[in-house]
Structure 1
Amino acid sequence: MLPVIDGHNDTLLAATSDRAGGEFLREPDDPDGHLDLARAEEAGLAAGVFAMFVPNEGELDWNELPPAVDGERARRVVDEQFATLHDWADATDRFLVVRDIDALDACIDGTAVGGVPHIEGAAAVSPDLVNLEALYETGLRSLGLVWSRPNAFAHGVPFEHDATPDIGPGLTDAGFDLVEACEGMGIVVDLAHLNAAGFWDVAETVDAPLVVSHAGAHGISPSSRNLTDDQLDAIADSGGIVGCTFGTAHLRPDGQRGKDASLSTLLDHVEYFADRMGVEHVGLGADFDGASIPEAVGDVRGLRDVLAGLEARGYDRTEREAIAYGNWRRVLAAWWN
C-alpha cells in the first residue's frame, strides 16, 4: 500500500468546535467527519498538513469576502489548536508532530501518522512578526498567508464561480516581510486562497518552490479559488506543487457543492495538473473536515480509490508514488532544509 502525504485538512477545527469529526483519537464504530487516527492508519496516510484555522464569528455571506478576524482572538484560537495537536501526540505513539524531514521520513516508513503544523490565514501572526519565532518553536512549519479574507499581510479571494482570482491588490509591506522571514526560517509559504496579485508577488520574492496546498484547475472549474494555467506554469517552473483539492465546489464545472460529484471529476483535475505541469508537480490536498467531498471518496479511506483511479487511467507505480507522497516530500524538504 502506497503511503500518502495529504496537503491540507481542517480536523483541528473540527476537534475544537462543534463540527462533526472532532474526536481524532477515538476508535469509532460509527465515525463522523472525514479523518481520525484509526481511519488514517487504514488508509495508509503517512502524514497530513493539519491546519489551524480561526473561523469568523456569526453567519457569513458566501457571495462576499468574509471580514478580517481580530489578531488577539486569532492568537488565542491558534494556541488552543496547537495545544490540541500536541495533546494528540502526547497521548499516543501512533501520532507524531512533524517538525523536520527526518520525522516525515519516519512517517512515510510507517512509524506513525504525522501531522505537519500549519496555520491557514496569518491573522495570528503579529504584523511586526514579533511572535513568528515563537510559533516556529511551537512547531509551525507551514503558513497560508490568507484564507478567503484580508489580513495585515495579503488579500484572499471570495468563493465565486465563473470568476477570476485576479481580485484586489498584492502583498502589503508586512506581507513581503513575512514571506521573506518564512523562507529564511524554513516555514512553507502556502498560496492557497491568495489572490492573483499576491500569488505573483510571492513568486517574484522567493527562491523556494511555490506551494498551493489545496486547489483545483480553473480550466475545468472556473472558481476564483482555482489556479489559472499561467499560475500552474509558474508553479512548475519553480519546482513546486499543487495539492489537488477534493472539495466539490472547486472540482465541479458548475461550481455546485453537491457530494454527488463523481470520482472522475476529481481525477480530471489531477490529470489536468499532470498534463500542464508534469506529474512531478502534483500532489493531493483533500481538505478533509473542511469541505464537501465526493461521496465516491467518502473520507480519508477514499485515498485508496483515488490512487486506484489513477492506476486505471494509466499512471504507473512511479507516477502514483510521486503524486501520493514523493512530490510533497521533495517540496517540504526544499523549504525545511
Structure 2
Amino acid sequence: MIPVFDGHNDFLQRMVDAGAGRDRLWSKGDGTGHLDLPRMQAGGVAGGFFAIWTPSPDSEDDAAAAVMKANPPFALPLPDEVSNADSLPRALAQAGQLMAMERTGTLKICRSAADIRAAMAEGKIAAILHIEGAEPIADMDALHLWHAMGLRSLGPVWSRPTRYAHGVPFAFPGSPDTGAGLTDAGKQLVRECNSLRIMLDLSHLNEKGFDDIAALSDAPLVASHSCAHAVAPSTRNLTDRQLQVIADSKGLVGLNYAVGFLHPQGLRDPMHGFDIVLRHLDHLLSFLGEDGVALGSDFDGAQMPEDLSDASKQQNLIQAMLDHGYGQELVEKIAYRNWIGVLERTWGR
C-alpha cells in the first residue's frame, strides 16, 4: 500500500466521549465513526493531524440548520465565540487523550519532520497535535505552554469568531469574503507562531484573514482540509486567487473529503465513485503543482463519500488516482510526501 498522511481528523472528541472505554475505542474500534487504529492500519494511514476542537453549545436551531444544509441554497449565521474558560478544559481533555494514545505504544506525537519519518519507519501512527479554533489559547504565554506540550499546528478559527480572527459561515453558494481580517491579537499570534515554527492552518478562515496571514507570515501557507471553490462554491472552499497565493508561498492544500464541500451543487446526498473528488484534485494541481496538493479527510467531522466511508477505505482513493492517470510518483506526493515536505519548510527538519 502507498502510505497516507492525513491533514485533518476530529477523532479526539470521540476519545473524550468514550470515557473508560477510550483505550478499546482506539485499539479495537467500536464500529462507529470513521477512524481508529485498526481502520487506519487497514487503509495504510500512517499518520496525520489530530485536531483539538471545541463544539459550539447545543442550540434549538441545530435541527433546522441540518435541514438547511441538506437542501441548498442555504446561509447559516456564524456561531458565537466560545470563551477561553469553556474551551480550555475541553482542549486539555482532548490533548490528554492523544497522550494516552501515545502511551499505548501504537502512536507517536511528532514535533519534527524527522519524528514523522521515524514513527512511520517503526510502524507507529505519526500524530501531529493541532488546535482548530484558538479559543483555548488566551495569550502568547499560553501559546508557548501549548507548544511545550507538543502543539505544532494551529487554525486561528473554526467557522466562528475568536479573539484572533473571523471564520466563514456555512453557506452555499457563497464567497469566503465575509467579515473583517485579523485582530491586533491575531497579528501577534501569527508572528509568535512563526517564531515558534507552529504551522498556521487557513482552513475555516475568511478571505480578509487569509490575506492578512499571507502578508504577515514568513512560512508556507497551508489549508489543511479545503476544496476548490471553482468546482463547488461553498464558503469553506478556496478561490482560484487564494490557491495562487498559496502556490506563490510554496504552500499546500489538503483535499477535504466532506460531501457538502465536494459536491458542485452543495448536496449532502450519498456520493459514489471518485469523479467529483478527482475534479477537485485536478483543479488544485493546476494551481498548486505536484508539490502543493495533499489529503485532509475531515474524518469524524463530516459526511464522507460512500467509497471513502472511513479510514480503512483510503486505498480506494489511491487506486482512483492511479486509474485517473496520476503516476506513482505524483500519487505518493499527494498521499504523504507533500505533507512531510511542507512541514520541513515550516518547522525545519
Q: TM-score range by the shorter chain?
A: over 0.9
Gaps of 5+ in 1: none
Contact 2:18 2:25 (8 Å CA) reproduced: no
Contact 1:120 1:147 (8 Å CA) reproduced: yes
Percent of counterpart pairs with the same letter? 40
Tell me the alpha carbon deviations over residues 244-283 of structure 1, each in whole angstroms, 9 at most, x when there is no partner: 0000000001112223353221121111101222121000
CA distance in 1, matches of 2:171, 2:17: 26
Q: Does 1:13 align with 2:13?
A: yes
Contact 1:50 1:118 (8 Å CA) reproduced: yes
CA distance in 2, matches of 1:116, 1:43: 19
Following superposition, the deviation at residue 110 of structure 1 comes to 4.5
Tell me the alpha carbon deviations over residues 37-66 of structure 1, each in whole angstroms, 9 at most, x when there is no partner: 111111111111000000111125541111
Match of 2:302 among 280, 291, 296: 291
CA distance in 1, matches of 2:154, 2:347: 13
Gaps of 5+ in 2: 66-75
- Equivalences for 1:67-86 in 2 at 5 Å? 67-86=80-99
Aligned to 2:27: 26
Letter in 1 for 2:304: I
Q: CA RMSD in A?
A: 1.6
Residues 184, 309 of structure 1: alpha-carbon distance in 2 compared, 3 angstrom cutoff: same
- Equivalences for 1:1-337 in 2 at 5 Å? 1-17=1-17, 24-28=25-29, 31-59=31-59, 62=65, 63-90=76-103, 92-126=104-138, 128-337=139-348
Following superposition, the deviation at residue 336 of structure 1 comes to 1.4
Contact 1:273 1:279 (8 Å CA) reproduced: no
CA distance in 2, matches of 1:110, 1:309: 28
Return 10-19 or 235-244, whichever deviates more.
Answer: 10-19
Letter in 1 for 2:36: D
Query: Which secondary structure state, in structure 2, belongs to the residue aligned with residue 123 of structure 1?
Result: coil
Following superposition, the deviation at residue 100 of structure 1 comes to 1.5
CA distance in 1, matches of 2:327, 2:151: 34
Contact 2:15 2:26 (8 Å CA) reproduced: no
Contact 1:279 1:322 (8 Å CA) reproduced: yes
CA distance in 2, matches of 1:96, 1:44: 16
CA distance in 2, matches of 1:46, 1:326: 11
Query: Which secondary structure state, in structure 2, belongs to the residue aligned with residue 17 of structure 1?
Result: helix
Following superposition, the deviation at residue 7 of structure 1 comes to 0.2
Query: Which secondary structure state, in structure 2, belongs to the residue aligned with residue 242 of structure 1?
Result: strand
Higher helix share: 2
Count of residues in correspondence between the two structures: 333
Letter in 2 for 1:69: V
Contact 2:225 2:295 (8 Å CA) reproduced: yes
Contact 2:174 2:233 (8 Å CA) reproduced: yes
Contact 1:165 1:226 (8 Å CA) reproduced: yes
Letter in 2 for 1:174: A
Tell me the alpha carbon deviations over residues 16-36 of structure 1, each in whole angstroms, 9 at most, x when there is no partner: 2379x97642324x6211000
